[in-house]
Amino acid sequence: MPRRRLLLDLTPLRRSRDFRLLAGGQLVSILGTQLTAVAVPYEVYRLTHSSLQVGLVSLAQLFPLIVGSVIGGSVVDAVDRRKLLLIVETLMAACSAALAVNADLGSALWPLYLAPAINAGLSGFDGPARSAIIPNLVQREEFTSANAMFQAIFQTGTVVGPALAGVLLAGAGVKLVFWIDVVSFGASLLAAAAIAPQRPAGGGQRPGVRSIVDGFRFLKGRQAIQGAYLIDINAMVFGMPRALFPALGTTVFGGGATTVGLLYAAPGAGAVVGALTTGWAGHVRRQGRAVIIAVVAWGGAITAFGLVRWLPAALVLLVIAGWADIISAVFRNTIIQLLVPDRLRGRLSALQIAVVTGGPRLGDLESGSVATGFGNEASIVSGGVACVVGAVILARVLPGFRRQVHDPTAGAETVEADLDRRRRSAGEVVGELEPGPGLEPGPP
């Protein structure tokens, strides 16, 4: 395969100045965010020596994130998304600054709960706003490449950020890490300030309950979008055994903290490789089928992972799973962006973020519960098999998702109008077949 068809397609970067700015700012910002994601639990454990406290800090972020995503999507579709990014990221930078000041003053525990929880709620505005902006910065045939690029940026941050955090925490301490995060938000703010205004199509809809309900109502009858959400929930709930990595690393593979770290890092490494080798993805037309195949590959790799006892083989399987997951994510994002009109992209992106962030936490509960009753191997293998079976069932019951074809020439508004036209046409045919008032159908 030629290199141009294998490596990440950089065409959106070359064509769009605003896309370059947004991507560059996001790269710097995600590195800073990942530094703080490691520094907060590290500091909590240093203060309390309690793993329960570390878990509670993470749990405290879940509710604000979900609520923020639901409300944030409604706001994103009502205002200039560029201005919203500027406001939200300023507030997020303030939260990181508060953590830095807290560390300077001696590190009280309660700010380590409060500031990350507020940041999680704000991310429910930041993520949907960014997702809604991206399709307006590139051409429709470049959606897949643009999504792959942002996945590469995110996954690179999740691999490099924690590793860099470990070095900085050991050498310079937690205060410097928090201040670096503040500076990283500055780079993202400068990038957002330099792009063109990003007002929603049609002037936007007033945020509120009705706006949120309209977003959910849009899903009715649209199997391709429904499938993109449901198949990800299926994969994360049944095929995400990360809660078992500490037990596996220390018992099954006979290692310690380093082995556990390798297990956590392997899917991310596979995701980075997958994102950087998606030059071919823009040429795939049957994107619904591609998502199904990728999720089946994910489930198969996790099933095999549950059966092996040799660490190198286990790591390779997790790398394959991470690669399959990122391919699924690229195509799922593209399907949603292609089929959702601009006026609704904030709300539907917010729903997607809630799925992506909530699914793994439910997966932790599922894998941990099954492992408690039946053992680690049974939990992983049964989850992987359930993931594959679930993907096959969804492909069967949602033919519109399975048959989804990438058509960059047709806008989301065009697709929606065509769907409504076909519904009206079907209704007219039924009307012609029904007998009129006062008439009875004749004998056969």
In this structure, which amino acid lies at residue 18?
A: D
200: DSSP letter:
P
Of 62, 36, 129, the residue nearest 89 (C-alpha): 129
Helix (H) or strand (E) holding 194: helix 174-194
Distances (CA, A) of 319 to 71, 186, 300, 315, 367: 35, 33, 12, 6, 19
206: DSSP letter:
-
| Residue listed under structure tokens 């329960």 | 52
Q: Quickly name the fold that domain 218-425 has.
A: Growth Hormone; Chain: A; (1.20.1250)
Q: What is the pLDDT along the chain (444 residues), one digit of tens a residue?
A: 445 578 888 899 999 999 999 999 999 999 898 888 888 888 888 888 876 787 788 778 888 888 898 899 999 999 999 999 999 999 999 999 999 999 999 889 999 999 999 998 999 899 899 989 999 999 988 999 999 999 889 888 878 887 788 888 888 888 999 999 999 999 999 999 999 999 988 766 788 888 888 888 999 989 999 999 999 999 988 988 877 887 888 888 887 767 877 888 888 889 999 989 988 888 889 999 999 999 999 999 999 999 999 999 999 999 999 999 999 999 999 999 889 999 899 889 888 888 887 778 778 878 888 888 898 899 999 999 999 999 999 999 999 999 999 776 655 554 454 445 444 444 443 443 343 333 333 333
Query: What is the residue-wise DSSP string for 385-429?
Result: HHHHHHHHHHHHH-HHHHT----TTS-HHHHHHHHHHHHHHHHHH
In the chain, what are the domain boundaries? 8-196+206-217, 218-425
Please tell me the pTM assigned to this model. 0.78
Cα(285)–Cα(290) distance, rounded to whole angstroms?
Answer: 9
Domain 8-196+206-217 identical in fold to domain 218-425: yes
Distances (CA, A) of 364 to 7, 82, 237, 240, 283: 33, 35, 8, 7, 35
In this structure, which amino acid lies at residue 356?
A: V
Non-local CB neighbours of 393 within 8 Å, separated by 6+ positions: none
CATH architecture of 8-196+206-217: Up-down Bundle (1.20)
